[in-house]
Structure 1
Amino acid sequence: MKANQSTEERFLLLGFSDWPSLQPVLFALVLFCYLLTLTGNSALALLAARDPRLHTPMYYFLCHLALVDAGFTTSVVPPLLASLRGRALWLQRGGCLAQLCASLALGSAECVLLAVMALDRAAAVCRPLRYAGLAAPRLCRALAGASWLGGLANSAAQTALLASRPLCPPHRVDHFICELPALLKLACGGGRDIPERQMLAARVVILLLPSAVILASYAAVARAVWGMRTTGSRRKAVGTCGSHLTAVCLFYGSAIYTYLQPTLSYNQGHGKFVSLFYTVVTPALNPLIYTLRNKEVKGAARRLLGSLGRGHAGQ
């Protein structure tokens, strides 16, 4: 009987139902950001793959970031749009855990990937003469693979720990997705502190270790820039790192707020809007951040459009 109850367990995601007047605005914003995310990241990945001048470690990692962002947002947005149309969003326990696993895996992969990109930028600025050797293709593939595997491992561990815990009814989740802090609010039963501490330790590892790598990388970059003699060299070094640093601040600021506070003090009302920012808005902004002031990407886009135009003219 208990097994039947477990398989029939469902969760009601309240989403933004407590803000009915805001739902049409949020629907338009989320849909716009989602289309921008898919278009911008797909275009960025296409340019990085097709243009030989972008076959460098920086754009290789940027291509992976674009794929992560597109997948991350896709794991969140479709059910969110359905709930913003006023429909009650019910998910089976398995569906809820699947969404949690997918979003955790892709979000964790982005954490590691941003740290890898910081190492790449530090190597380019601090060791320009040895950069080609330091950023060898085999090493770049290994680091990108480690980002994906690290995300999957963290997601599998935290999802398994949560799945082992009973969740107390009523299964009303005050969120628009099955996100870990919101689901932990429903945890019940004896000894709940042990798995929660284990999950917090996993979140600390996947957020704070990459953060430490990023801080150390940019400390090295700052020392190198300070030692440069010409303004032009400093400007070029800052230009290569500015876009990445902006993306790091946007993603890590909201992710750390969401995942590194104790469950009991987690404010679900504020948490929904913070989660909306880093799951929907930030992935839409990343392609703009990396391309608006990037002459190489703009040049690759012009060359691609030019070749397509010549192809159509030839027909």
Structure 2
Amino acid sequence: HSVSEFILVGFSTFPPHLLPIFFLLFMLMYLFTLLGNLLIMVTVRSERGLHTPMYLFLCTLSISEILYTLAITPRLLADLLSTQRTIAFGACASQMFFSFTFGFTHSFLLTVMGYDRYVAICHPLRYSVFMSPRACICLVAWSWAGGSVIGLVVATAIFHLTFCGPNEIHHFLCHVPPLLKLACGTDVPVVALGVGLVCITVLLGCFLLILLSYTLIGAAILKIPSAEGRHKAFSTCASHLIVVIVHYGFASIIYLKPKSLHSQESNTLMAITYTVLTPFLSPIIFSLRNKELKTSMKKTFLSKLYPSGI
């Protein structure tokens, strides 16, 4: 390869006085994301009442969220305070592999969680059969395996291309579209089409499966005679549904935005919503919207702070 390193110029078009403000804001959001997800994981592990498939999946989702932010945010924060925003060829490939692996694992886990809610509401008597410990482990394992395969396919396809120069990536991370613009050779359009089709097919497939789950859940909830029963059934799905809307809402803003908005600043700010804001919002939504989890969090951490009083 004639290019041995890249320069990430995602934030170079912003006024320099804004960069420390961005750094502080993203740093706080990053720490909150880590803390929020760790709180969920510790609570689920501590409370025996939460040792159910729904919370196992939530715990795994928190792990994928932490790893996703670790793949992107520390580098982003370092670049905000640095004038040398270079990244080695191998480091760029690794970042792409891990960000796609954990990003797609996240999508698969959200799909699995939708299926879990469908079984719980539409087939409650057979829930323990469909969601046996072995079935749950298989669903989690397949989610991680699927994410890893997509991460490997995308990173291998992109970094097998030839990069002749220039080496400036118009983004704050090693993302597919800006890297494709730097690649040279006749196979670039084929790789671009292949990677695009893989990503869109998988994301759309996950979204349609979640949509199907909630269509069937909605039909089942409407058949529940009491208003209290309907509310109780819906409340177990609410946090997951909001996270799905946020996750796919921000993803669609990035991938389906009009071509006229393709300025450097708009690209960077839109990508920030997906890479920093979505992981930040996820633990907040699950903690605030899930009454059982919220109660368990209070109980777990109050018992740690005041062991004699609980």
What TM-score comes out, normalization by structure 1 length? 0.91
Count of aligned positions: 308
Mapped contact 2:13–2:264 kept (Cα < 8 A): no
State the AA in 2 paired with 1:18.
T
Any idea what the Cα deviations from partners look like across 1:58-117, whole Å, max 9, x if unmatched?
A: 100000010011110111111111111142310111111111111010001001111111
Which amino acid in 2 is paired with 1:167? F
Please list, as runs of the form range in 1=range in 2, the aligned pairs for 1:166-177 lying within 5 A after superposition. 166-177=162-173
Aligned in 2, Cα 1:88/1:50: closer, same or farther, shift over 3 Å? same
CA displacement at 1:264 relative to structure 2: 11
1:52 corresponds in structure 2 to 48
CA pair 114-246 structure 1, distance change in 2 beyond 3 A:
same
Matching residue of 1:195: 191
Tell me how far 1:166 sits from its aligned partner.
1.4
* Offset of residue 273 of structure 1: 1.6
User: Residue 88 of structure 1: which of 84, 89, 107 is its match?
Assistant: 84
Q: How far apart in 1 are the matches of 2:263 and 2:134?
A: 44
When structure 1 is superposed on structure 2, of 191-200 and 109-118 the one drifting more is 191-200
The 3-state SS of whatever aligns with 2:283 is: helix
CA contact (8 A) 1:68 1:106 kept: yes
| 1:232 paired residue number | 228
Equivalent in the alignment of 1:27: 23
Listed as ranges, the gaps of 5+ residues in structure 2 are none
Equivalent residue for 1:159, pick from 144, 152, 155: 155
1:15 is displaced (CA, Å) by: 2.2
Aligned to 2:275: 279
Residue 12 (structure 1) aligns with: 7
Amino acid of the residue matched to residue 14 of structure 2?
W
1:13·1:173 contact (CA, 8 Å) conserved in 2? yes
Name which of structure 1's ranges 10-19 and 58-67 shifts more when overlaid on structure 2.
10-19
Task: Identify the residue that residue 129 of structure 1 maps to in structure 2.
Answer: 125
Q: CA 1:262 to 1:207, structure 2 compared with 1: closer, same or farther past 3 Å?
A: farther
Residues 13-43 of structure 1: per-residue CA shift (max 9 Å, x gap): 0121211243222112110110001100011
Sort the Cα spacing of 1:272 and 1:246 in 2 relative to 1 into closer, same or farther, 3 A: same
Q: In 1, Cα distance between the equivalents of 2:189 and 2:261?
A: 15
Instruction: State the alpha-carbon separation in 2 of the partners of residues 128 and 174 from structure 1.
Output: 50
**SS of residue matched to 1:73:** helix
* Cα distance change on mapping 1:160 and 1:37 into 2, 3 Å: same
Amino acid at match of 2:293: V
Closer/same/farther in 2, CA of residues 264 and 182 from structure 1, 3 Å limit:
farther
5+ residue gaps, structure 1, are none
Distance 1:133 1:150 in 2: 24
Q: Distance in 1 between matches of 2:178 and 2:27?
A: 24
Q: What is the alpha-carbon distance in structure 1 between the residues aligned to residue 170 and residue 308 of structure 2?
A: 52
